[in-house]
Amino acid sequence: MPPTEDPAEPPVPVSFWQAFGYWLKLGFISFGGPAGQIALMHQELVERRRWISEKRFLHALNYCMLLPGPEAQQLATYIGWLMHRTWGGIAAGVLFVLPSLFILIALSWVYMAYGQVPAVAGLLYGVKPAVTAIVLFAAWRIGSRVLKNAWLWAIAAAAFVAIFALQVPFPLIVLAAAAIGYFGSRVAPQRFAPGGGGHGAAGAAAIGPALIDDDTPTPAHARFGWGRFWRVLGVFLALWLGAMGALVALYGWHGTLTQMGWFFTKAALLTFGGAYAVLPYVFQGAVDHYGWLGATQMIDGLALGETTPGPLIMVVSFVGFVGGWNQALFGAHSLFAAGAVAATVVSFFTFLPSFLFILLGGPFIESTHGNLKLTAPLTAITAAVVGVIVNLAVFFAWHVLWPKGAGGGFDAASAAIGLIAAVALFRFKAGVIPVVLGSALLGLAWQLLLLPLFVR
């Protein structure tokens, strides 16, 4: 679907299959974690294609930020559902993660079958500092649009200090920001209105009208109704119970696949704050309690998850693959099949709740986008999330530039690759894919060609 040439003209209506093509493309290019993925969708759907206005986009994003689970995948599901009903949401959400699942199954197989390959290690070495630059760039892009006044800047700064210096749990930061937004809407409502009291209207006018614009009525399928609410809930409960019942019937309650389904259902309901908030829980369960994989394997899986498209929580697919392989679920001669089936089971139970939250709660959220009492807390939460994203960039930078800790020395080569990636993003507006590929090649050249010259 090409962009509309004249910003003053409304965009051409989009068919389901045109949207399907975009969601499939997004599944292959969604690098950079949630911040980068949200920035990609904003640039394409708000600025370029004009499928949805910025206010409606941010309103949906605010809701997704409140939910457990991968917010970028849920945002894609929300927009797909809003545009093309239930199947539009399912297509957007599934295609957001399906390419990543296939890629991670392939990479996990290479990892388990062939071990540490110097070329692969070199590529990963270059990608890590690039991911750091991508997250920082995404934080800047989102912050420049969200932080429209001193109140929102203060919330973002406070959130950064809270999570970075005070180790405040992300759910508490969300609750505090929501409370500030609620009371702030009474004291200074203009500061928490959509656009934040800045130049949002002017920016929207420059972009042009959208298919789903600020004043576009909520479509019939997106209006709240108790009958639809109970039908959606019933369908999802049937899906979960049917899948879990099949695993119990085939492998028993204590079977590895059954326990993976149960464990990752619980993990999916605890992922407030993104993948890094739930990784300690996954590490404790998968490594310490069940013994599906080792600690080193878990860390390597996180590195793979950081460098593949899709949400970072897709690292659970690696956990499932390695666990199925290590447990030899289908015998010693079917290790790949065991890993692939386990990765698929884990992904199903991890992402099923995300679709439930959007399809069940979306109609209620659509009824609130003009209500300041309800939108102000969400605006404050978005400002807080900017600070949390900056903290994630700092987290990446610390582990990339000082990989062995403060006493282990500064990694100047990683810093140089990260700086090149940042210049490409900030100065030359390069795309995420060229930056990732270029950084991977620089890492490969350093590890295989240049580093040996320095260690001789």
Convert the pLDDT of each residue in 334-389 to its tens digit. 999 999 999 999 999 999 999 999 999 999 888 766 555 666 777 787 788 788 77
Average of pLDDT values for 180-188? 82
Task: Name which residue leads in pLDDT, 266 or 139.
Answer: 266
Place of tokens 């996954």: 282
pLDDT > 90 in the chain, percent: 32
Confidence band, pLDDT 50/70/90 cuts, at residue 325? very high
Q: What is the pLDDT of residue 453?
A: 63
Exposure pattern of 153-189 as b/e (b: 16+ CB <10 Å)?
Answer: bebbbbbbebbbeeeeebeebbebbbebbeebbeeee
- Crossing angle of helices 432-445 and 412-426, in 10° steps, is 160
Average pLDDT of the segment spanning 125-144: 79
Return d(Cα 156, Cα 139) in angstroms, integer.
11
Alpha helices per DSSP H over 255-371 = 256-268, 275-283, 295-306, 315-327, 335-366
Structure tokens at 451: 């580093």
Distance from the first to the final alpha carbon of the chain: 54
- Residue with the two structure tokens 């386990």: 342
Angle, alpha carbons 229-172-77 (nearest 5°): 35
What pLDDT, in 10s, does the model give residues 259-289? 999 999 988 886 655 565 566 678 778 888 8
What is the pLDDT averaged over residues 188-198? 62
d(CA 293, CA 289): 10
* Average pLDDT in the chain: 83
Beta strands, E only, 155-274: none
Report pLDDT for 87: 96
What pLDDT digit, counting tens, does each position of 83-114 carry? 999 999 999 999 999 999 999 999 899 888 87
Query: What Å distances lie between residue 266 and 326, 364, 417, CA to CA?
Result: 22, 25, 38
What local confidence, expressed as pLDDT, does residue 54 receive?
A: 85
Q: Residue 36, exposed/middle/buried by CB under 10 A (0-12, 13-18, 19+)?
A: buried
Assess whether pLDDT exceeds 60 at residue 193.
yes
Over 80: is that where the pLDDT of 197 sits? no
Whole-model pTM: value is 0.72
In angstroms, rounded to a whole number, what is the distance separating the alpha carbons of residues 213 and 83?
Answer: 12
Q: How far apart are CA 65 and CA 378, in angstroms?
A: 9
For the beta carbon of residue 275, count every other beta carbon within 10 angstroms. Answer: 21
What pLDDT score was predicted for residue 86?
A: 95
* Amino acid 278: pLDDT: 67
Q: How many CB atoms lie within 10 A of CB 405?
A: 9
